[in-house]
């Protein structure tokens, strides 16, 4: 009989048992840095932009020369030349004059605004400005985006595309990042065969989807994944694989054998092979109840159910928090949309229900449709749009209720 913990209790155990790993620092190319955790603050080594430039096509002017201008009484300025891209201006803007400047072109001295082409008209050597502009209109000042010494991206930040763009414009071709958390994945079961196997030659077998599911999800969490293959249901053999994985990785994940049946000896293997302390065995969630969380030499060891859908939901609920803890990151609520459920969903299991949902946009709003599934049917799960969470002691969800549908 499993002594289950609530999902909230499990997350608290994770936060207390697994502090941030102070891992080595490595330098990577900027092209390989997205999704990595920055190891140190990065500051601007130069102003951006490095010169004051025009934000649009138009005429560099002294704003004061346009005050009071209108279509009926335009400001009449003398055209005094043009600025070419990638070149310094050859003339200054003096009182009563204007110089053409393209988007991104360097602003000539004397000018403090740009009158965009749409409000101007050129007659011979005169520029008619038919609308007044104020200082700094159409102008990007030197250093307006970043000044020398400004911290652009702080240590601990998970680098996203916008950070990569900022680092690139400031001349960083490589950055220092934390080493990725290394995660071992092991699938167990006499019935498992590699994905490339023909089931015609392996009667009563199933292809190993858990290795690939675990790998994909842990890589999405930012881990380096080391697959240790399929292990048969043998305590000695599994113990040897777990011991090797524990020596080489920060997290060890084993799918299958985590329940309490005759062939479910994962918990025993954890204790005997690496001397693991069992922090909990059983989560009050459906699917995913027979999950093991253990610790050995400061490293996390996880026993997951064998059914792929249960593996998937445990990883979403538990493994994301574990990786965040080891990386020193805060947990964030998953994105969700609110929708109206279209059918009554009973739930009285003493476990928090994770229920796949299909979304439909109608004239009456977003409708959440119950998506039928069973723990082993991962192909069906892949067709759903998200999931709802029914609290542990709730009796279900009434038809027409507004629910949060979380994205995967």
Which of 112, 140, 168 corresponds to the end of one domain? Answer: 140
Q: Are residues 30 and 64 in the same domain?
A: no
Kindly report, residue by residue over 173-231, the tens digit of the pLDDT.
999 999 999 999 999 998 899 998 877 766 668 889 999 999 999 999 999 999 999 99
What tokens appear for 39 in the block?
Answer: 């190891």
Note whether 354 and 398 are same-domain residues. yes
Whole-number pLDDT of residue 174? 97
255 found inside a domain = yes
Do 298 and 192 have their domain in common? yes
* Cα–Cα dist 343/76, whole Å: 70
| Domain C-terminal end among 327, 348, 366 | 327
One domain, residues 67 and 135:
yes
Domain final residue pick, 178, 204, 227: 178
Nearest of 158, 127, 145 to residue 48 by alpha carbon: 145
1 domain residue, yes or no: no
Q: What is the CATH number of the domain that holds 346?
A: 2.40.340.10
Q: What are the Cα distances from residue 332, in Å, to 96, 316, 317, 400, 401? A: 57, 12, 11, 28, 25
169 and 193 part of one domain: no
Q: With a cut of 70, which residues of the chain have pLDDT below it?
A: 1, 201-204, 258-264, 374-376
Containing structural domain, residue 310: 7-23+180-327
How many Å apart are CA 352 and CA 394, to the nearest integer? 8
pLDDT the model gives residue 349: 74
Which residues lie below 8 Å from residue 100, measured CB to CB, with a gap of 6+?
A: 58, 59, 60, 79, 81, 82, 83
pLDDT at res. 1: 60
CATH of the domain at 38: 3.90.105.10
- For residues 249 and 199, membership in a common domain is answered with yes
Same domain (yes/no): 316, 293 = yes
**Does residue 240 share a domain with residue 133?**
no
- CATH code of the domain covering residue 226: 3.40.980.10
- Predicted TM-score (pTM) of this structure: 0.84
User: Do 232 and 352 have their domain in common?
Assistant: no
Q: Which two tokens stand for residue 273?
A: 């092979």
Tally of structural domains, the chain: 4
């Amino acid at each position: 009989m499993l002594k289950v913990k609530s999902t909230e209790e499990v997350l608290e155990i994770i936060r207390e048992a697994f502090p941030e790993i102070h891992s080595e620092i490595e330098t990577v190319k900027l092209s390989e840095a997205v999704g990595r955790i920055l190891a140190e603050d990065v500051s601007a080594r130069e102003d951006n932009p490095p010169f004051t430039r025009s934000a649009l096509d138009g005429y560099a002017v002294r704003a004061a020369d346009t005050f009071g201008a209108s279509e009926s009484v335009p400001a009449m300025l003398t055209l005094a030349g043009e600025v070419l891209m990638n070149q310094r201006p050859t003339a200054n803007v003096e009182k009563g004059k204007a110089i053409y400047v393209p988007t991104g072109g360097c602003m000539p001295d004397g000018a403090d605004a740009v009158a965009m082409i749409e409000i101007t008209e050129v007659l011979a050597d005169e520029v008619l400005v038919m609308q007044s502009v104020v200082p700094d209109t159409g102008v990007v000042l030197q250093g307006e985006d970043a000044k020398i010494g400004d911290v652009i991206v702080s240590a601990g930040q998970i680098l996203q595309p916008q950070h990569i763009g900022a680092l690139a414009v400031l001349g960083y071709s490589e950055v220092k990042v934390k080493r990725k958390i290394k995660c071992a994945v092991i699938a167990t079961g006499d019935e498992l065969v590699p994905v490339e196997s023909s089931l015609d030659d392996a009667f009563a077998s199933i292809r190993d989807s858990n290795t690939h599911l675990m790998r994909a999800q842990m890589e999405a969490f930012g881990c380096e994944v080391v697959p240790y293959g399929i292990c048969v249901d043998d305590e000695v053999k599994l113990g040897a694989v777990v011991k090797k994985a524990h020596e080489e990785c920060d997290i060890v994940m084993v799918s299958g054998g985590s329940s309490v049946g005759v062939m479910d000896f994962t918990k025993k293997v954890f204790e005997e092979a690496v001397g693991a302390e069992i922090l909990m065995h059983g989560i009050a969630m459906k699917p995913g109840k027979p999950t093991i969380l253990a610790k050995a030499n400061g490293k996390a060891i996880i026993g997951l159910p064998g059914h792929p859908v249960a593996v998937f939901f445990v990883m979403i609920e538990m493994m994301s928090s574990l990786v965040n803890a080891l990386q020193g990151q805060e947990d964030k609520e998953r994105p969700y949309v609110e929708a109206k459920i279209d059918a009554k969903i009973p739930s009285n299991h003493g476990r928090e229900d994770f229920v796949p949902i299909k979304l439909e946009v109608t004239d009456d709003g977003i409708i959440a449709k119950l998506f039928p599934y069973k723990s082993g049917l991962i192909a069906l799960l892949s067709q759903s749009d998200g999931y709802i969470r029914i609290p542990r002691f709730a009796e279900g969800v009434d038809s027409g209720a507004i629910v949060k549908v979380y994205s995967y």
